[in-house]
A and B are shown apart, each in its own frame.
Chain A
Amino acid sequence: MLTFIESSPLLAALAAMLALGSAFGALLGFASIRFRAEGNPIADQINAILPQTQCGQCGYPGCRPYAEAIAEGDAINKCPPGGEAGIAALADLLDVEAPPLDAEHGTEAEAKSYAFIIEEDCIGCTKCIQACPVDAIVGAAKQMHTVILEECTGCDLCVDPCPVDCIEMRPLPETLGTWHWDLPTADVGPVIIASDREQAA
């Protein structure tokens, strides 16, 4: 062995590299099978950030497909319900610059809304039930339909299919359960210390 290395160091080095390469290659190959990750973990993380409104404003049929598209390299600014905060969180996750919301896909809503069916106008066509991505509408053919408020994501996908226009989006009312203190608005005035105030005046 030693004599072989001494006699032909070049061959010995080659053999050593080959042996190492094949050993680590085998190790990597084994690891890729043994520790295989199910699904696409980055898509799961992106999906966790998306608001799950399932509104399709991004052009994909739901949040999960959009998450997969982002993982494949699509733009991160196509989600109006997520808004700027959602884009910032995605940019943070993917370590990219946060672009402004793409206006082509809609604008960020001021207040959360929910779908409301004007029940006396409903003809029971079930079209809205088929459109709802989260099964938040109950009803049957020729029976009145209604929206389960707690399950509605406010995606407004049910509004268009309604043949009698009896669905409208209403802003979520503020209740004792949802009301909360706001951050103080009358905030720190002109930040100057007392000795500067005379000069400023």
Chain B
Amino acid sequence: MRRVHDFHGGIHPPEHKEQSNTRPLRRAAIPAQLVLPLSQHIGPPARLEIAVGDRVLGGQRLSDLSSLPVHAPTSGIIAAIEDRPVPHASGLGGLCVVIETDGEDEWTELSPINDFRAADAAQLIGHLQAAGIAGLGGAGFPTFRKLPRDGGAGISTLIINGTECEPYITADDVLMRERAAQIVEGVEILAHIATPEEILIGIEDNKPEAIAAMRAAIAGRELMEVVVFPTKYPSGGEKQLIEILTGKQVPSGGLPSDLGILCQNVGTAVAVADAVLRGRPLVSRVTTVTGHRAKDAGNFEVLLGTPMRHLLEQAGCDVTRATPTQRLIMGGPMMGVTMPDPDAPIVKTTNCLLVPTEDELPTSGAAQACIRCGHCAEACPAQLLPQQLYWYARSRDFEKLEEHHLADCIECGACSFVCPSSIPLVQYYRASKAAIREQRAEDAKAEQARLRFEARQERLARAAAEKEARRAKRKRTAMAKAADEAGADDPIQAAIARAKARRAAQDQAPAAAADDKVAKIEARLEKARAKLAADDGSDAAVSAALQKAVAGTEKKLADAQAEAAAQDSAPADAQQREPEQA
């Protein structure tokens, strides 16, 4: 016998399960109109592949595989694709596909995988995505995202959640009693994908028939074990159930897969078996209709998209418009949300419709002041400090709320249940969580705007610089062109031009140069003669030198004169002789 652990806190609210679990599962009638919201799961909606007026068959996929698709639950005509009331606490509408059913329930050809053991994990996961399977326990997380694609190397334990701890709800209870074999089929497929070392099917001890049925169904199967533990709310929470069955705590901000654990609901297991072995996509689910206003309470297998009003009528509850004292709650009394509109449809996550009388489930009175009794901290299954969180939520101190791990709150409502001042604590936490999320989204948007602004500034600066560079270049070319036209203006050009002109002049008139030379030598001779005349003859050496200079100069003059005469007759020869003279 496996040792069962306990988790902190928890409460024991009246169960009221017998109101709905004494009757067998019934099949709800097909309504005249089905309204299928595109967002029935956590994540973005898928894109539609059909148009208004198309005839669709049961099981036909209506949207593509970009996200989790929706399927036609039965045959009919697409009457509209428009905003309709969806099951959401806000009462806002969401995009829905409206199908006018034709009552023939004609189905499209299904493609089951008969031998799932021969298929690999990726193929099976792709098949589950195409079948539109989301977790049927409550949150609606797409199952294909939760399953390991790598053959489940890190998964050691597969936990099948049949706890159903919330009062009134008996959908999983009845499912386990009547479809234990199908659950086991689904578990085997999940085990084939995740390859765990052990499979624990957790059920609270207030469901003896379900326990017996499941024990009988797993007889002879290896690895599988039904684990029964004492009833306490909220032992069906994923983290709580993991602690009960394994004694391990999922760390704050962590996932069960960090501990090598994969958790799936029993309803999801049935949907997996239907999808793989029978090829049926997720188009129906088991929903409990209960509460004293439902005269014929019980569990129904209902097509997704069935208006709540239609289902309630079959359970003997006549809903006109819901009023504050005539509430319609989707989910249980602890975590459920009041539906503003009974025309909203049943979706993948609708496990229960609760229609209580005012005596049965009185609306909470006005909140009193917190007397700091601390009962909430004792009841909190996440081991948080609800009282502290309450004060910080009231003062909108998001930083402190995050420091106190508001994100780990599972919104189970145990704190509100035990509060003697009937303070709607969970409502404070829900609002604060949303405000923090909104703040984050705004910060992200501001950061995006900043980046775009800076990128734009940079682009404008670059464009301006380029323009300036082009302008400067144009200016330079224009100036060079002008300088070419009026070359004299430029001193360098002018100097070069002058030098060229001089050389040209020399080349063209060597004769003139020779005449020049003669004139210069004549002038020198004059000077030398003058000096000789001035000499007084006192120094013989000086007189001799002077005489020699005069004689030399006379000879040079004679040479130059001869040259000048020759130049006049043959200038070309003179040019050739010039270097020799130099």
Contact = CB atoms under 8 A, between A and B. Distances in A.
Interface stretch (A15-23, A95-103, A162-170, A182-190): A182-190
B431 interface: yes
B89 A133 contact: no
B434 A188 contact: no
B90 A176 contact: yes
Given A179-B90, A182-B431, A62 B369 contact: no
B89 A62 contact: no
Contacts of A54: 449, 453
Contact of B428 (A176, A184, A189): A184
Nearest to A182: B431
Contact of B446 (A51, A62, A176, A179): A51
A133 B92 CA distance: 33
Contacts of A174: 90, 92
Contacts of B481: none
Contacts of A135: 452, 455-456
Contacts of B432: 183
A191 B371 CA distance: 11
A45 B94 CA distance: 40
Interface in B420-458: 423-424, 427-428, 430-432, 434-435, 437-438, 445-450, 452-457
A50 B442 CA distance: 12
A174 B86 CA distance: 14
Interface in A61-112: 62-64
B369 to A, nearest CB: 5
Contacts of B86: 176
Interface string B88-103: 1110101000000000
A180 B453 contact: no
B302 to A, nearest CB: 22
Contacts of A64: 450, 453-454, 457
A53 B449 contact: yes
B449 A151 contact: yes
B368 A188 contact: yes
Contacts of B389: none
B157 interface: no
B366 A176 contact: no
Interface residues of A, number: 30
Nearest to B442: A51
Interface residues of B, number: 36
A47 interface: yes
A183 B428 contact: yes
Contacts, number: 82
Nearest to A49: B446
A199 interface: no
A151 B456 CA distance: 13
Contacts of B39: 176
A180 B446 contact: no
Nearest to B447: A52
Contacts of B434: 180-181
Nearest to B94: A176
B410 to A, nearest CB: 15
A181 B430 contact: yes
A151 B444 CA distance: 11
Interface in A113-141: 133-136
A151 B451 CA distance: 11
B242 interface: no
Nearest to B425: A184
B117 interface: no
A62 B428 CA distance: 37
A134 B452 contact: yes
Contacts of B88: 176, 179
B367 A184 contact: yes
A184 B437 CA distance: 18
A59 B448 CA distance: 22
A38 B453 CA distance: 20
A179 B94 CA distance: 12
A85 to B, nearest CB: 9
B253 to A, nearest CB: 21
Given A188-B368, A189-B366, A191-B369, A183 B450 contact: no
B393 interface: yes
Contact of B450 (A52, A136, A181, A188): A52
A141 B92 CA distance: 39
A184 B90 CA distance: 14
Contacts of B321: none
A178 B435 CA distance: 10
A153 interface: yes
B394 interface: yes
Interface in A15-60: 47, 50-54
Given A176-B39, A181-B431, A134 B449 contact: yes
A173 B450 CA distance: 23
Given A133-B456, A188-B369, A175 B435 contact: no
Interface in B62-76: none
Contacts of B90: 174, 176, 179
Contacts of B424: 184
Given A180-B438, A188-B367, A52 B446 contact: yes
B368 A133 contact: no
Contact of A186 (B89, B366, B393): B366
A175 to B, nearest CB: 7
Interface of B: 39, 86, 88-90, 92, 94, 366-369, 393-394, 423-424, 427-428, 430-432, 434-435, 437-438, 445-450, 452-457
Interface of A: 47, 50-54, 62-64, 133-136, 151, 153, 174-176, 178-184, 186-189, 191
Given A47-B450, A176-B39, A181-B427, 12 more contacts: A52-B453, A63-B450, A64-B450, A135-B456, A151-B452, A153-B445, A174-B90, A174-B92, A181-B89, A183-B428, A188-B366, A188-B368
27 contacts: A47-B450, A50-B446, A52-B453, A62-B453, A63-B453, A64-B453, A133-B453, A135-B455, A135-B456, A136-B452, A174-B92, A175-B92, A176-B39, A176-B86, A176-B88, A176-B90, A176-B94, A178-B438, A179-B88, A181-B89, A183-B394, A183-B427, A183-B428, A183-B431, A183-B432, A189-B368, A191-B369
**Interchain residue pairs A-B with the least CB separation, the first 4:** A180-B434, A52-B446, A52-B449, A179-B90
